[in-house]
Amino acid sequence: KLQSVNVNDYQGNPFQMDVTYRGFTASPQIGSPQGLSVFFDGIRVNEPFGDVVNWDMLPMNALGGFDLIPGSNPLYGLNTLGGALTMKTKSGFTDKGFSAEILAGSFGRKQLQASGGWNNANKEKGSWDTAGDFAAFGAVNLFMEDGWRDNSPSRVNQAFGKFEWQGERASLAFSTLGVVNKLVGNGTVPQELYREDPSAVFTSPDETRNRLIQFQIAGAFDVNDKVNITGQVYHRQSNRKSSTGDIIDYESFNNPEAGARHVASRRAALGESIICALADSDRDGIPNYYVLDDANYYPFLDSKNTIPGVPGGFDYSLATLNAPLPQDLRDALRASLNNNPVIDGDSNSGAIVAASLEGGSAALSDITRTNNPVVSFTDVDMAVKRIFFAAPINAATCVDNLSGVGNPLNENKLNQSQGVLVAEPARDRDGANDVPTVGKGSGVAEGTPTAIITKSDVAQSSQGANVQINFNLDQHKFMVGSAIEHSSSDYIAKQRLGTLDNDRNVSNDPLKLGEEYYWADHDATINQFEGSSTTKSLYASETWSPTQNLNLSFSARYNHTHVQNAIAPRVAGRLLTDFTFYNKFLSTGGAVVVPGDTIADSPFDLSKPLPAGNPYTGANLITYLPAASEEYSYHRINPAIGATWQAKPNLNLYANWSQGTRVPSSVELGCAYDGTLVTKDNGQTYQPRSIAEGRGCSLPSTLSGDPYLPQVKAQTIEGGARGKFGEFMEWNISAYRTDLKDDIYMTSLTPELSFFQDIGKTRRQGIEFGLAGEYGKSDFRINYSLTEATFQSNFKTISPNNSSRAYHGIDENMIQVKSGNVMPGVPFNNINFSWGYKVTPKFKINTSVVAHGDSFLRGNENNAHTPSEGPIVIRQIKGQNVAIKLPDNKYSGKAAGYAVLNMNARYDFGSGWSASMLVNNVLDKKYYTAGRLGINPIAPSTYGAIGPGGFNYNSNEWIPSQFISAGAPRGVWLSMSYDFDASKKTLPPSSALNTEPNLADIEKPSNAPSAEELALASQLDKIKALPLIKHTQLSTKAAAQEVTNSVETWRKALATNQAEAYLALYAPSFAPAGLSHSQWVEKAKLKFATETVTASEVSDVVIAPEGKRMVAVFNQTLTKGAQQQATLKVLTFELKDGQWQITREHSMPTNAKMAVPN
């Protein structure tokens, strides 16, 4: 029913929707362009990490109402770029009683909603007070469903509680909210898959677990009837854990820039010892060695003698095994080996030590490193000797370079650059990198990762306090206040490599992956992050009413925000071919020192690679940079002005201008795009720093220390009119424009690697029109909005799957966005239509149609992506330029427009019981709300091997696609509800319209009053018609006069059949027994339409204070044609937003012989 609002279901879960209003978003997805502030009882619920809104943490059955405030109103603080949504919960003072609803139906959905309110009214004998001093309210929502898509179950558990006290001048409320949810929304799917099976998911799981605990204390104090003070403090703490399984992205799988290809590996055969083992018989940390006199060096080399199991050509009889060495030399050897049991030929610890002792002395004068396998030294007798390590224990099978003789049997089995055993025949895991077939290879399915599992944990907390003073004067409504908010968030994300099964479920089984993958059985911590922000604010507003029908408003807010981040960015290495990700077999002089004489004494399994990052190897698995500390401050004054003019009783005109800002969130600062050009490929080419260094974000994951982003600034101008045709047709029309400067936009290099980029200026503008009315048994509402969201600056952004992207050079994979291009995800035309028909007084049917025009997909920001033939591009494969024909693109880059028909019906059985049926998507329409451009590895094959789930192991054959957010199919749900209003048992009955007495009471044979009437009469006796001037303060006299004027306005509205003026006197919380406020409004309008009041008179009016309320007691004579009805009326007024409004109403026949004050 809300204008300019549309919903995008990117995650495929009813609790994880993107809500868009006028082109601005409130979304649970990190990375969405947040621009709406959302408040729950005055608490900002935009989370610290990314300003996201977790809709699953808001219990809807606890809400008493909500307001959508358009524009950049500064009073609602930061992030209010396009609007603010404020939600207010129910209260035990106004929502007494118990209600419950049970729902079940399609997709395995089951839901229980229950709420109850209580207050201590009517506890004292003879009291008619309907509020009391204490009240409590609670609500519970339990939801579970299997989901309409495969593997998509969700569980939602919400509980809300509130306890309140109110006195004559003060009130205090304590509330708490707890949430424990498990949501599964398996994201977008390629359009090809959706056509084949609409319920299918691309990959699973995609699970989010949300927990929340929230506390709030709010209070108010009336200084007098014109001034009051309000304030609140709150604490909110949440935790979000997610686990997602995604198909591996193109960049990680293919890695077109790697110098060495990703050669497929194999596992060692039984008994095949690959790593050389050097025996250390005396266990002194130095492998067995031979000492040879320098004079015997050449005879040793020329010998034809051999030793079984040892490479021939050496005469070991000329050398001495483990001969004594000078202690300084032994220490030098140990130091050179770092006292480690592993000699890594690729690191310094594997180099051979050359040492010489100064003539005749034992002092070590020099130690050098050399690749010569033989070390010479001079002993104390000035004799030159040579030392070399003994042959490996497993010299027959290992790759041996330490003894000076390579083993030709094994040299070709080991890819030395990658440290893996090469499968035969040698092939790249990605067939696109196969040289002999010029990129037309099959690839290798066995042992190749096809998926990545990401687990993230976000812990967030926020605390805040505010206080404001409100002045309610005759012509001025002035408010001044201050607020402080502090928030912090801790984030950690880890990844593992995985594989797909035939249903594209992602799992991690190290036995299915190559042994070289350290990340197959270890978590790769891709980032750790801590961030906090503190915002201090001063704000004020003034509404001046120079005349009765003209209001001028002025407001301003000053915000000062201090942001601190500590971000531990990872290194650029993130690809399958990056060696720092590998477990490795030791080669090029690598060996393990065995403390003993046999392989059984080895501390490692010599048939398996040593784990990457093992401290003995010296390998640099992942070298985390020091935590990057960022500290920024933002401040700004945001003003707003506006005017409303009641030109006629049925015509209101308004206009306003406002300015708001949004400070970049910690995640946006951490993932900011750095376009500084840096050299790569030894200075031959240039690339933006963020791309060259891989400093992006796998949302909601990787962060990196990145450039400063300025705060986003928004200015909104709006004008419009609203009114009514006759009494029962309402209309509104408005036009608006919101201009943003330094807007922040998320761009994606891959589905997993994203950046936040300052894109300059953007604009949202549009026209809104609404019409609502009712006649007889029917009512209808239609809302239309034209929404145009455009970029207003030229900029380049990454879009690797856009058909118009650059294919070579500095701008490779980039598109040029121009001023005027339409922003993705925002339909131009939007229509909401609803119609209701009351078949009987107890049975009503409602229908609604939601229609949206087409919209561009993410990745098509330049609006230039079109169906096109795949181009021929030049790629390098192992240094060779190869021409590759890319697959054709078949899609438009748009989400088509759609219209969905929904229906519901409700039957009231009476006594609080009712049943409802809800049917969504009645016509079972297939549609999708949004999406993104992407590439699909589940592709038909000409060359590539096809693995589980249809994965194609030749990335050249992956097809361009549209990944869409599909709408749910037809769903049918039945519900049964029970509404027990405790006031029915304790309060006198009120009429349906509260404008006439209960005729059944008038026609009673007996004039004896009821028990409730006697209780009310007893209380009324206390309200004497004494001159208020003698007994009250001036403020009370003023309040009494205002209530008297309201009673007169109430009377005139009835006498002249002015339904709108009559309804405007009642508070939004007003609801007679058995009805909600909206149901009462519906009935009241129907009465005005069908029953004409010819006269309404009041007499004997008594106004008196009752705590914080004012009570009006009077006799009413209502004339309808020839019929005249006499009633005793009691109206309870409360001050709401500067106006005295009716919160309770009671009617009794005057022949009840009740005591009426004189």
pLDDT tier at 39 (50, 70, 90 boundaries)? very high
Task: Report pLDDT for 101.
Answer: 96
Q: pLDDT tens digits, residue range 201-243?
A: 999 888 999 999 999 999 999 998 889 999 999 999 999 999 9
Residue 362 or residue 509, greater confidence: 509
Percent helix, strand, coil in the chain, to 5, is: 15, 45, 40
3-class DSSP string for 1081-1095: HHHHHHHHHHCCCCE
Q: What is the average pLDDT value for the chain, to the nearest integer?
A: 80
pLDDT of 1010 > 50? The answer is no
Phi, then psi, of 266 in degrees rounded to 5: -135, 165
Q: Is residue 171 part of a domain?
A: yes
- Cis bond upstream, residue 700 (ω within 30): yes
Cα–Cα distance between 952 and 500 in angstroms, integer? Answer: 12
- Residues 554 and 650 placed together within one structural domain of the fold: yes
Asked if residue 1158 belongs to a domain, the reply is no
Region of 478 on the Ramachandran plot (φ > 0 left; ψ -120 to 50 alpha; else beta): beta
Assess whether 969 and 995 both reside in one domain. Answer: no
Residue 219: CA atoms inside 13 Å, Cβ hemisphere, count?
Answer: 10
Q: Which two tokens stand for residue 1046?
A: 């309201």
Residue 548 and residue 661 share a domain: yes
Q: Are residues 122 and 178 in the same domain?
A: yes
**Plot region of 788 (φ>0 → left; ψ -120 to 50 → alpha; else → beta):** beta
Residue 1037: which CATH number?
Answer: 3.10.450.50
Residue 471, pLDDT above cutoff 70: yes
E-strand spans in 726-840?
A: 729-748, 754-775, 778-791, 795-798, 814-817, 829-840
- Tens digit of each residue's pLDDT (9 = 90 or more) over 601-620: 988 888 888 876 555 544 44
CA 227 from centre of chain: 40
Q: Same domain, yes or no, for 952 and 1005?
A: no
The pLDDT of 171-194, averaged and rounded, is 92
> For residue range 1136-1145, what is the model confidence (pLDDT) as tens digits?
777 899 988 8
Higher pLDDT: 712 or 574? It is 712
- Residue 983 pLDDT level (bands cut at 50, 70, 90): very low
Query: Residue 483 above 90 pLDDT?
Result: yes
DSSP string spanning 641-654? EEEEEEEETTEEEE
Q: What is the pLDDT of residue 187?
A: 79
Choose the final residue of a domain: 925, 951, 973.
973
Residue 739 within a domain = yes
Q: How far apart are CA 847 and CA 849, in angstroms?
A: 7
Q: What digits encode the pLDDT tens for the residues 186-198?
A: 778 999 999 999 9
Residue 88's pLDDT is 93
582: left (phi over 0), alpha (psi -120 to 50) or beta: beta
The answer to which of 278-287, 688-697, 730-739 has the lowest mean pLDDT is 688-697
- Pairing type for strands 36-40 and 83-89 reads parallel
pLDDT of 34: 83
Q: Percentage of the chain with pLDDT > 90?
A: 40
Q: Which of 330, 361, 394 is the last residue of a domain?
A: 394
Instruction: Give the model's pLDDT for residue 2.
Output: 67
Assign residue 624 a region (left: φ > 0; alpha: ψ between -120 and 50; beta: otherwise).
beta
Residue 269 structure tokens: 């055969």
* Span 48-76, average pLDDT: 90
| Cβ–Cβ under 8 Å, residues 117 and 1001 | no
Assigned token pair, 680: 């790569």
| Residue 608 in domain | no
Confidence of residue 763 (pLDDT cuts 50, 70, 90): very high
**Domain range for 1110:** 987-1152
The predicted-structure confidence for 487-501, as pLDDT tens digits, reads as follows: 999 988 888 899 999
Q: Which amino acid is at 428?
A: D
Q: Are residues 727 and 843 in the same domain?
A: yes
Question: Residues of the chain with pLDDT > 70: what percent?
Answer: 79
Least confident of 302-311, 792-801, 970-979: 302-311
pLDDT of 122? 59
| DSSP labels, 417-444 | TTTEEBPSS--BSSGGG-TTTTS-----
Query: Is the CB of residue 875 less than 8 Å from the CB of residue 885?
Result: no
Q: How confident is the model at residue 622 (pLDDT cuts 50, 70, 90)?
A: very low
Mean pLDDT, rounded, for 1024-1052: 69
Q: What is the pLDDT of residues 641-688, one digit of tens each?
A: 999 999 988 899 999 999 999 888 777 776 777 667 776 655 666 666
Q: Is the predicted pLDDT of residue 627 greater than 80, yes or no?
A: no
Looking at the fold, whether 369 and 458 belong to one and the same domain comes out as no
**Distance (Å, whole) CA 696 – CA 698:** 7
Quickly state the pLDDT bin for 179 (edges 50, 70, 90). very high
Residue 966 lies in a domain: yes
Instruction: Please check whether residues 448 and 386 belong to one and the same domain.
Output: no
DSSP string, 705-756: -----PPEEEEEEEEEEEEEETTTEEEEEEEEEEEEEEEEEEEESSSS-EEE
**Kind of pairing between the strands at 591-594 and 277-279:** parallel
Q: Of 424-438, 667-681, 1036-1050, where does mean pLDDT reach its minimum?
A: 667-681
Asked whether residue 37 is domain-assigned, the answer is yes
Mean pLDDT lowest for which of 496-500, 893-897, 1145-1149? 1145-1149
pLDDT at 216: 98
Tokens standing for 271? 């008994």
- DSSP class per residue in 1011-1052: HHHHHHHHHHTTS----GGGTS-HHHHHHHHHHHHHHHHHHH
Q: Let me know whether 1041 and 904 are in one domain.
A: no
Among 482-496, 745-759, 1008-1022, name the one with the lowest average pLDDT: 1008-1022
Q: Is the pLDDT of residue 1013 over 60?
A: no
pLDDT at 406 over 60: no
User: Which SS3 state, helix, strand or coil, does residue 612 take?
Assistant: coil
| Residue 184 scores a pLDDT above 60 | yes
In a domain, 12, yes or no: no
How far, in Å, CA of 857 to CA of 752, rounded? 17
What is residue 478's three-state secondary structure?
A: strand
Kindly tell me if the per-residue pLDDT of 1118 is higher than 80. Answer: yes
Same domain, 572 and 699: yes
Residues 133-145: what's their mean pLDDT? 95
Tell me how many domains the chain contains.
3
236 and 309 belong to one structural domain: no
pLDDT given at position 885? 87
And the tokens for 701? 């994951």
DSSP state of 47: -
In a domain, 1034, yes or no: yes
Q: What is the CATH number of the domain that holds 677?
A: 2.40.170.20
Reading phi first (left if > 0) and then psi (alpha if -120 to 50, else beta), residue 716 is in beta
Cis peptide before 595 (omega within 30 of 0): no
Instruction: Give the end of a domain, one of 938, 973, 1008.
Output: 973
Q: Backbone phi, then psi, for 357, in 5-degree steps? A: -100, 140
- Which pLDDT score, from 0 to 100, does residue 270 have? 81
Q: Give the three-state DSSP class for 215.
A: strand
Residues 801 and 913 in one domain: yes
Specify the pLDDT at position 946: 96
